[in-house]
Amino acid sequence: MTSELDIFVGNTTLIDEDVYRLWLDGYSVSDAVALRVRSGILEQTGATAAVLQSDTMDHYRTFHMLERLLHAPPKLLHQLIFQIPPSRQALLIERYYAFDEAFVREVLGKKLSKGTKKDLDDISTKTSITLKSCRRQFDNFKRVFKVVEEMRGSLVDNIQQHFLLSDRLARDYAAIVFFANNRFETGKKKLQYLSFGDFAFCAELMIQNWTLGAVDSQVDDMDMDLDKEFLQDLKELKVLVADKDLLDLHKSLVCTALRGKLGVFSEMEANFKNLSRGLVNVAAKLTHNKDVRDLFVDLVEKFVEPCRSDHWPLSDVRLFLNQYSASVHSLDGFRHQALWDRYMGTLRGCLLRLYHD
């Protein structure tokens, strides 16, 4: 009597997401095995400790071999050594380039250099993120920066094209690259209440409106560098606070429009000129690199903190900024409306994000 057997042979590379996460988090094989045992996997599968050890080591070997491909994600798609379904490839890439909020807040705005890399030991201790994971995340930031820094075109599109990241993650990396290039200060004590998401939101607004790419899509590094000509022109806005008649008229227009609508009207009326001087002087100083770096410190000091000390609710801040921006269009003696809109359109969005009432 003969028997027939159907045999299927496959070479699909198996990826255990849980083990991949442990590897990305920087755990050694022995630590990963211990954590897997603690999760109850031996009871769930009936495997022995020896089998679990072997399985974990096998996965780690695979991840180490994949890592050089993950440094240039398109290579992972086109290689033939590892048979990995497209959905699994996307997962590997996305999770490899994912980062911890606590880590990115420590390095955001700093130069992605060896000097900063030397601080990773301290950052690891402070954030309780393993040093190995800190190094992976830092190296990812630096790698993306190096690849896209000389490219023309949209920063987000270039990152997506060369690293195959999701739209959200590509936008986060665009913010990281933009902040690293312009060296914005984010580490001061008074800025610690702000999350990476707050800064990323502001970065996106500035990229869309204040960079060279906002006016010319053919310029090199279009989304990386702030438009220097625009920053120089911002000095023209100083007339709004230097000319007493304009300042008084601006205040009158805003107060007339907001009377009876603002819960903190008396505080706003009393402090209008100081707030206006603060917002306009921030613009006028952006010709200097140090003042560009201190942009968020200045915004918090000149606007957020004074409003917070007077207990402005966010709704009143929004009403004020909208009217403050719009009223300038009714100032007959002011000749820089387009420049004002380009500046305040972005600043208004940033201030509303920075203001946590």
The pLDDT, as a whole number, for residue 257 is 97
> What is the rounded average pLDDT of the residues 226-250?
95
Task: Report pTM.
Answer: 0.91
Tens of pLDDT, residues 3-45:
565 554 456 788 999 999 999 999 999 999 999 999 998 888 8
The confidence score (pLDDT) of residue 8 equals: 45
The pLDDT of residue 356 is 79
Q: Average pLDDT over the chain, rounded to whole? A: 92
Using alpha carbons, select from 214, 210, 271, 277 the residue that is nearest to residue 244.
277
> Residue 2: pLDDT above 80?
no
Is 180 exposed, middle or buried, given 0-12, 13-18 or 19+ CB atoms closer than 10 A? Answer: buried
Question: Closest Cα partner for 20 from 69, 72, 71, 55?
Answer: 55
Compute the radius of gyration of the chain from its Cα atoms.
Answer: 26
Does residue 127 contact residue 104 with C-beta atoms inside 8 Å? no
Residue 76 has pLDDT above 50, yes or no: yes
For residues 257 and 190, give the distance between their C-alpha atoms in angstroms, rounded to a whole number.
33
Mean pLDDT of 179-183: 95
pLDDT in tens, 104-151: 999 999 999 888 888 999 999 999 999 999 999 999 999 999 999 988
d(CA 97, CA 138): 10
Domain definitions of the chain by residue range? 17-82, 101-210, 228-354
